[in-house]
Amino acid sequence: MKRLIFLMSLFYLIQVYGGNPGIYDLSFGLYLKETLGFSAEKIAHIGTIILLPWNIKPLWGIMADSFPLFGSQLRNYFFLCYALAAVTLFVLSIVDSSSVSIIIGGVFMVSLCIAFSDVLTDKMMVVEGSARKKTGVLQATQWTAAGLGGGGMYYLGGIFAGRLGLKVAFRMSTIVPLVGLFATYFFIREERTDREAISLGKSSRALWIAAKSKQFLAVAAFIACLRFSPNPPLLFYLRDVLKFDPEFMGTLDAIGSIAQGIGAAVFGILCSRISRKTLLNMTIGLSALSSLGLIFMHDVQSAIWVYGFTGFFSMIATLGILELAVRLCPVGAEGTAYAFLVSIYNFAGRPATIIGARMYDNGVSFTALVLVGSAFTLLCWFLIPILKLEKE
């Protein structure tokens, strides 16, 4: 169990520093906004393209579940993902800054590699955690590491954005997937997969059984509805309205990330005692509460408090959704089923982000967008009686 906890923590740290969102994230956002002069809506569209690999995670789950790479469902895929990510980040650090399409394409490729490695990590969590009845603890471990470790990542990202620039951020990010390569070599041990025991047909049948389950479909619909709420473009509000510099924006993200880590740790302590119905109520309430907190952000001091508050409660809400998802994964298609539900979580948020950005560009105030988004979230309470998830 100790080795598993170590790997979950390390791989999530690699994910956060390497590309989700990555040390270069703030520098890249400011490059699109201030160097290229893109609008909030255009940046949202670019973000949708870059995050596409996270929205089709079931494809990576099917590959991992059904098509072993040289006899391996995990180890060799990890090697491939981290090697490609390292090469791509190095290339991005040396290309001309005016090569917009190359930079966007490169960031997309890194996103793909990190998304695939995330599916592999979650497959390990679901398979081994379910066997030990410790999935909630392992998920909390993953997100505690991502939150607390992400504090340093966001702080460094602010420094790179304010002082050193996008190329240096890409160059330093190259180190991260290399750490993943070494960790895979030394810590992942995997028996050669029997191709007769694993097939696309068997994985598909297991996933089809889950898809026919009313509970599985109900949770999928609930996740989609919960995530579909217009989001205000924070980058533009912090930069143009509150006039925060990039370094302080990185510090704010670091504070929020550390608060998320603390929230994940609290969830890990409490998760085994929480029923599905309680998870649903808690997720809706805390999601709305964390969104509403944004309207109280108007200066440096209030921004610090708001980021800490929203980070803590939004993480508990997120883990509530993910724990619901992992409890419904069928044996034989763990990677695919979990990836499917998480992809719904990711995908449903993208139209909301684009709609929120368009509304902001068209003059809708930041406060109004926060209120609209919170109202959409609260409407999900009316779905709880329909879900009928009282029984464990």
Tell the residue number behind the tokens 């270069």, with chain if given. 24
Where on the phi/psi map is residue 229: left (φ > 0), alpha (ψ -120 to 50), or beta?
beta
- 152 closest CA partner among 274, 294, 250, 46: 250
- 125 closest CA partner among 133, 17, 187: 133
| pLDDT tens-digit profile, the chain (392 residues) | 777 888 888 999 998 898 888 899 999 999 999 989 999 999 999 998 998 998 888 788 778 777 778 777 788 999 999 999 999 999 999 988 778 899 999 999 999 999 999 988 888 887 777 677 777 778 778 878 888 888 889 899 899 988 888 999 999 999 999 999 999 888 887 766 555 555 556 666 666 766 666 777 777 787 888 788 787 888 899 999 999 998 899 999 899 889 888 888 888 777 667 776 777 787 788 888 888 888 888 899 999 999 998 888 888 877 777 777 766 666 656 566 777 777 888 788 888 888 988 999 898 998 999 998 888 888 888 877 766 655 44
Could you state, in order of their start, the residue ranges of all structural domains in the chain?
Answer: 2-188+197-387
For the domain bounded by 2-188+197-387, which CATH number is listed?
A: 1.20.1250.20
29's enclosing H/E stretch is helix 25-30
pLDDT of residue 207: 65
Bridge partners for 69 per DSSP: 72
On whether the pTM is more than 0.95, the answer is: no
- 325 closest CA partner among 209, 192, 219: 219
Is 57:121 a contact under the CB 8 Å cutoff? no
